[in-house]
Amino acid sequence: MLCKIGDVEVWRILEINAPFLTPEELFPTAGPDVAKIVESHVKGGVCRQSGRIILPVQGFLLKTPSHNILVDSCVGNDKTNATMADWNMRSDTRFMAALTAAGVSTEEIDYVLCTHLHPDHVGWNTRLEDGRWVPTFPNARYLMPAADEEVQRSRNADLYVESVLPVIAAGQAELVEAGHMLGDHVTLMPTPGHTHGHVCIKVKSGDHEAVITGDAMHSTVQCWYPQWHFKFDTDAEMAVASRRRLLEEASESGCIVVGSHFLLPSLGHVRSDKGSFRWEE
């Protein structure tokens, strides 16, 4: 178990922990010293051999007193990805093994919550069975941001056809707006910018609180530099505004912050610091 937030257990469901792209590629407006800055703020965050940022891809299982909720379903197996070779046609058991180790079967997942509809967050939504895409979690309701579904539907690319449409066709999808509440403990927090419908996930139980960032942030270095644009943000300025709001809220509440792509252990606190913020594990 990663941590416990009051009555809610949080389990890490790790699929990939590997170098991704260089700091210069990921943060194109951060200036020529970006690699040095990342290295000085995130110890071990840049792979020495490749010079690329280490980017875990992981989901989180929330075990509330009433439900098993999977937040983000990573890259998945057999998925088509024309731009990211490491994410194309994977055949890997790590994600499913992590779910088993957390003590749940695919049948026992009650909800799948997608922070947004990008390939590293929706992959295990479905799996191939006899050449057909079927929902991996047969008894789950899948909650997806309505704004993202609309964008992906209009593109009708591999991601939609392989990882979203089969869930809708099976009648298991619920397209939701930000602010949506799921049971007593989980709220979808609007953080548009990375995608139009992007949400962070707030977990609250008694006096205890945590937030799962999704892709509102990708590295703890963005606590110090929230204004850095991220390569894959749909609306970079809107993403900066959402990131600042997230950092303000997290530093004011003192809640636990769980970073979907943060270097392991991906868990800590945001503190306000001289007009900006810092990260504390």
Q: Which residues of this chain interact with Zn ion, rule CB under 5 A? A: 120, 215
Task: Look up tokens 């008694």; give the residue.
Answer: 206
Q: How far is the CB of 215 from Zn ion (least distance, A)?
A: 4
Q: How far is the CB of 18 from Zn ion (least distance, A)?
A: 14
Q: How far is the CB of 261 from Zn ion (least distance, A)?
A: 6
Sheet with 68-71, edge to edge strand ranges: 3-5, 8-19, 54-63, 68-71, 111-113, 141-145, 173-176
Contact 71, 115 (CB under 8 A): yes
Quick one: 117 or 247, whose CB is closer to Zn ion? 117
Quick one: 149 or 215, whose CB is closer to Zn ion? 215
Quick one: 84 or 101, whose CB is closer to Zn ion? 84
Task: Look up tokens 């991906």; give the residue.
Answer: 266
In whole angstroms, what is the distance from residue 261 CA to residue 118 CA? 13
Quick one: 15 or 120, whose CB is closer to Zn ion? 120
- Structural element, H or E, at residue 247: helix 236-253
DSSP 144-175: EEHHHHHHHHHH--HHIIIIIHHHHHTT-EEE
Quick one: 8 or 74, whose CB is closer to Zn ion? 74
Q: How far is the CB of 265 from Zn ion (least distance, A)?
A: 18
Q: How far is the CB of 115 from Zn ion (least distance, A)?
A: 8
Quick one: 119 or 135, whose CB is closer to Zn ion? 119
Quick one: 20 or 279, whose CB is closer to Zn ion? 20
Q: What distances in angstroms separate CA 268 from CA 107, 184, 255, one per listed residue?
A: 31, 24, 9
Q: How far is the CB of 60 from Zn ion (least distance, A)?
A: 13
In whole angstroms, what is the distance from residue 164 CA to residue 145 CA? 11
In whole angstroms, what is the distance from residue 60 CA to residue 148 CA? 20
Please provide the size of the chain in residues: 281
In whole angstroms, what is the distance from residue 183 CA to residue 40 CA? 41
Q: How far is the CB of 194 from Zn ion (least distance, A)?
A: 8
Instruction: Check residue 185 and give left, alpha or beta (phi > 0: left; psi -120 to 50: alpha).
Output: alpha
